[in-house]
Chain A
Amino acid sequence: MSRPNSQHGDMIETLIGQRLPKRDAPAKVTGQTIYGHDLVRPHMLYGKIVRSPYASARIVAIDTSRAEKLAGVRAVLTARDAPHRLFGYGADNLILKGTRVLHVGDEVAAIAASDPYTAQEAAQLVRVEYEPLPAVFDPDDALLPNAPLVHPARGSNLFRQQLYQHGDPDAAFQEADVIVKDEFELPYAANMPLEPCFCLAEFDANDELTLYSTTQVPYLLQRDLANALEMPASHIRILQTAIGGSFGRGLDMYPFEPIAVLLAQKTKCPVRLAFDRREEFLAAPIRQPIRVKMRSAAKRDGTLWARDAHAVLNIGAYASWGTVTTVVMAETVGSLYRVPHARFVADLVYTNSPVTGAMRGFGNPQSTFCVEVQMDRLADALGMDPLEFRLRNVNQPNTTTPQGLKITSCGLQECLEILGDIVDATLIPRKSSCFPQGNDYSFEVRKRDDLRPHSSSLIPPHLARGIGFASTMNVGGGARIYRSDGCGAIVKVDDFGRVTLITGASEIGQGADIVLAQITAETLGMTLDAVRVVNGDTALAPWDVGVHASRTTFIAGNAARLAALDARKQLLETAAEQFHVAPEELDARGGFIFRKNDPTARVPLEKIIRARHFRPFGEPVIGKGWYDPPNEMADEHLRGNLSASYSFAAHAVEVEVDTETGRVRVLRVGAAHDVGRALNPLLIEGQIEGGIHMGIGYALTEQLRVENGRVVNDSLREYGIPTTLDMPPIDIRLVETLDPEGPFGAKGVGELGVTPVAAAISNAIYDAVGVRITSLPITPEKVLRALRAKHGFQSL
């Protein structure tokens, strides 16, 4: 697996760029990993929440007496037993509701019992008398003058309106040669990780709280719990369990978490609160449905000239961090391409619909869908090739967009050019396989089985094929949506040469465990095996804002690198004394320290470590690092350099449309990604492939159907997560632009797989059958309806 480093001879390897499996993979393939749902603590009780069946109602009375009498029930809580301080991003939510419920699933009462069956039975015995109230579900209705108010004290259902503008869009549309206009409809989508929500609250003898949690933001959860529960944050420790997927779900605190704490407080026992799948569909946060009216304009010479978008976001009953998605949406509207005039208006609207939150891409799948469908439409109107039109307006490195985004490294042009090559080829060559040393067996199998020549002569007449493109840009160097975008790290080297990286970063499956180990070992000059990564404990590890915004490799990677550099400096200083040379004349690699001009004269690092520790006034090696990127929060006008770098990608998708049934099949995807530098291609490919899976679901099959505020398709199959049969072969090309700020040149990659997929599919459908679908998911019904509108019923 090792790649020799020519500078130092074959014995020394570089860890950067290697295809290394995740550290936790052996435990996961043998069933040894303990997820939240597997966790058992002595005397543990089982919590259950009583939820509102109404979207809007007054609570007349709650009778808990029958539940309390059930054998095995240890506590029944209602709003009387909970603090009444409003919490959440919008300071609009209560732990338990005592007077009004605002959506189906609102928390009304909670049980702790000796086993899950008893807890369930007790929940059913709680009698709540409701008086239904008028409800509002559609954001347009919610903005009408006489609409029922979700939060009457606010005086309006408009949570927030945001406006971004550069140039003079109104004048620009007057000057343009071609203009396209659309109304886009983006649906509810659900994160739906395979492990449902979980937490376990436990107090120790000193009344200090430990919350075992699947959160993505342990340090913010510590603060949020303290505020909601009116207890000192210093007495709260968050321990992340192994997390069975999240995709943005864990960005906020939700009522179930403080409820578990209150139950543990009342019963003096550890209390576990774990959702089942139905409850996950009912109460876990989801992607906002958004309606977008957008127009785009270009000059006859192919210059993108103006863009104007008005988005209405249905945020549901409570405002979460998910409302910050408008910052990301504005970036795609205003800065994905060079566009001299742009405006983005967003209305974020409360309704009595399910609570929305954050989901992978964070507004970007929505805005990229709109922008990239219109890029295609403009190219079409201009009579230009869609790739050529994109290349004509692509961002270049080292430019600042009118929005204030400082684009340093930028490989979008190369990504688009690569896509042209992929599409021109008759077969998708699979560049990478899991066996790096030339054993590209998987390509041979795929070639025989999954791939076929792109030749329309073999296709039956009712099947039409087409190819579509879409570009995308995302924050790739953190995203300052909180006062600090930082991460801390400690590198501790013990007397035996074992290195422990203690990091604030979270592991949610993406592989921070191995990437941060690679960065630490490479920087310190240690072998990979010598480095372990410890994280997931707010009492132990320094602060981190959380695992989101594709930021962990960039931010936590830089923090680990700084801590390792600090430790390395200490080692080289001591070694310099031993070698009787200046520290600058020494280098450390592969577990040895040696003179740069004579690598054969080398000493094992652990000898230096002990020499430093066990001497008069000696000390062990402890390095510390703190990295807060040079970025800024967007201002109230959504301007500012949100990220310390930006990542880019472009996808090409080939589809086959059945004109008799309207069914769309994705035949293949080409994905070219500017990742800065591929620290671990195996994991990067995994992020992109998983993102494309989520993108295909968003485009074609996934939709949470909400009727009168109630989710009606609350199971995985009905919801429509793509299976193995829905997934095409994917050809991934990694473009390395060596970002000046990223660790070893790397940029974030976690969200760019999902963001362009739906647009590329819609554009491919147009290429195949000539209809534009602007509403997701692209169901067979929508395709058939569009075909009939275009050709008339008889012609089909």
Chain B
Amino acid sequence: MEQLSLALTVNGEAYQVTTRPYATLLDVLHDQLGLTGTHEGCRMGECGSCSVLLDGHAVNACLVLAPDVEGRAVTTVEGLAENGSLSALQAAFVQCGALQCGYCTSGMLISAAAFLKRVQETPTAAEVRRALVGNLCRCTGYAKIIDAILAVATKSPNEMNVASEFAARGHD
């Protein structure tokens, strides 16, 4: 079977992988690079569980064909923390109880990170809801996820009493 050689950057590290031409970015990340934090939920772009940042924009990794990421930069949930400590967003998810089974959490964090990077002013709850409309959660009813994102967006790192990498450096 024809194989494809692919160069991409994931979480700041350069990778060279050989894959099937019809493989998706999700296949490459999850099955080949062992970045299992990016979860398959539907392979149809409907649930958002496999959301990753592609050149800073949130995408469903299941809808991106591997050849299309040649030379591009990907950030997965594994790349949100820095120097082993949680980003403010991750810490807020923990503290606010924003996850239960956790299967959607990676995708939620990615969508939230992309949203917080692009909003200029302090967002409203309605804006947060719109930003997460592509990410389904079956456990939480979204309430505490929205709490957590608003907490990061409206509180300074000191008040959050959590690690401050996220606020200081953006997320990627």
Contact = CB atoms under 8 A, between A and B. Distances in A.
B151 interface: yes
Contacts of B42: 276-277, 715-716
B16 interface: no
Nearest to A277: B42
A535 to B, nearest CB: 15
Interface string B31-54: 000011111111110110100000
A72 B6 CA distance: 25
A29 B109 contact: yes
A685 B97 contact: yes
A34 B104 CA distance: 13
A683 B139 contact: no
B interface bracket (residues with beta carbon within 8 Å of A):
35 or more
Contact of A434 (B43, B96, B137): B96
Contact of A29 (B94, B139, B143): B94
A25 interface: yes
Given A195-B39, A686-B139, A244 B103 contact: yes
A516 to B, nearest CB: 16
B109 to A, nearest CB: 6
A692 B141 contact: yes
B152 to A, nearest CB: 11
A441 B100 contact: no
A26 B141 contact: no
A231 to B, nearest CB: 31
Interface string B97-129: 111111111100100000000000000111011
A32 B90 CA distance: 13
B2 interface: no
A439 B90 contact: no
Contacts of A439: 155, 159
Contacts of B38: 31
Nearest to B146: A724
A654 B38 CA distance: 37
B18 interface: no
**Residue among A30, A716, A730 with most chain B CB within 10 A:** A30
Contact of B136 (A450, A511, A682, A723): A723
Contacts of B146: 724
Contacts of A599: none
B57 interface: no
Nearest to A247: B138
Contacts of A637: none
A509 B105 CA distance: 12
B77 A29 contact: yes
Contacts of A35: 36, 39, 103
Given A721-B138, A724-B142, A195 B99 contact: no
Contacts of A246: 101
B77 A276 contact: no
B46 A686 contact: no
Interface in A685-707: 685-686, 689-694
Chain B interface helix/strand/loop/mixed:
loop
**Residue among B37, B40, B97 with most chain A CB within 10 A:** B97
B139 A276 contact: no
A28 B105 contact: yes
Contacts of A21: 94-95, 97
A35 B129 CA distance: 27
Contact of B86 (A29, A194, A510, A692): A29
Contact of B99 (A29, A277, A450, A694): A29
B44 A30 contact: no
Contacts of A715: 42, 44, 46
A337 B36 CA distance: 49
Contact of B36 (A34, A193, A435, A683): A34
A442 B147 contact: yes
Given A26-B94, A31-B35, A727 B142 contact: yes
Interface in A13-53: 19, 21-22, 24-26, 28-35, 37-38
B151 to A, nearest CB: 7
B101 A721 contact: no
Contacts of B125: 445-446, 449-450
A521 B17 CA distance: 48
B76 interface: yes
A190 to B, nearest CB: 10
Contacts of B90: 26, 29-30
A449 B41 contact: no
A449 B39 CA distance: 32
A121 B165 CA distance: 47
B148 A194 contact: no
A508 B39 CA distance: 17
A448 interface: yes
A193 B100 contact: no
A433 interface: yes
B139 A690 contact: yes
Interface in B70-97: 76-78, 80-81, 86, 90-97
Given A35-B103, A685-B144, A245 B150 contact: no
A32 B81 CA distance: 12
Nearest to A436: B95
B130 interface: yes
B51 to A, nearest CB: 12
Contact of A194 (B103, B133, B155): B103
B81 A30 contact: yes
A80 interface: no
Interface string A697-738: 000000000000000000111000101110101100000000
B97 A716 contact: no
B154 A689 contact: no
A192 interface: yes
A101 interface: no
A370 interface: no
Interface in A167-193: 192-193
A22 B99 CA distance: 8
B5 interface: no
Given A276-B43, A434-B97, A442-B151, A693 B76 contact: no
A756 B37 CA distance: 35
A511 B154 contact: no
A32 B37 contact: yes
Contacts of B136: 194, 716, 721, 723
A511 B151 contact: no
B154 A445 contact: yes
Contacts of A243: 101
**Residue among B81, B92, B95, B135 with most chain A CB within 10 A:** B95
Contacts of A450: 125-126
Contacts of A37: 39-40
B25 interface: no
A462 to B, nearest CB: 22
Nearest to A695: B141
Contact of B44 (A26, A193, A277): A277
Contacts of A446: 125
Given A28-B99, A30-B37, A38-B36, A725 B130 contact: yes
Given A195-B39, A693-B140, 18 more contacts: A26-B86, A30-B86, A31-B35, A31-B36, A31-B38, A31-B106, A33-B37, A194-B103, A243-B101, A277-B47, A434-B96, A434-B97, A446-B125, A449-B124, A449-B125, A509-B100, A686-B139, A730-B141
Interface of B: 20, 30, 35-44, 46-47, 49, 76-78, 80-81, 86, 90-106, 109, 124-126, 128-130, 132-133, 135-144, 146-148, 150-151, 154-155, 159
10 contacts: A21-B95, A29-B94, A31-B78, A247-B138, A685-B97, A685-B143, A689-B142, A723-B136, A724-B128, A725-B129
Interface of A: 19, 21-22, 24-26, 28-35, 37-38, 117, 192-196, 242-247, 276-277, 433-435, 439, 441-442, 445-446, 448-450, 508-511, 682-683, 685-686, 689-694, 715-717, 721, 723-725, 727, 729-730
The 10 closest A-B pairs by CB, nearest first: A31-B37, A509-B101, A244-B103, A28-B102, A693-B141, A434-B96, A689-B141, A38-B36, A31-B77, A509-B100
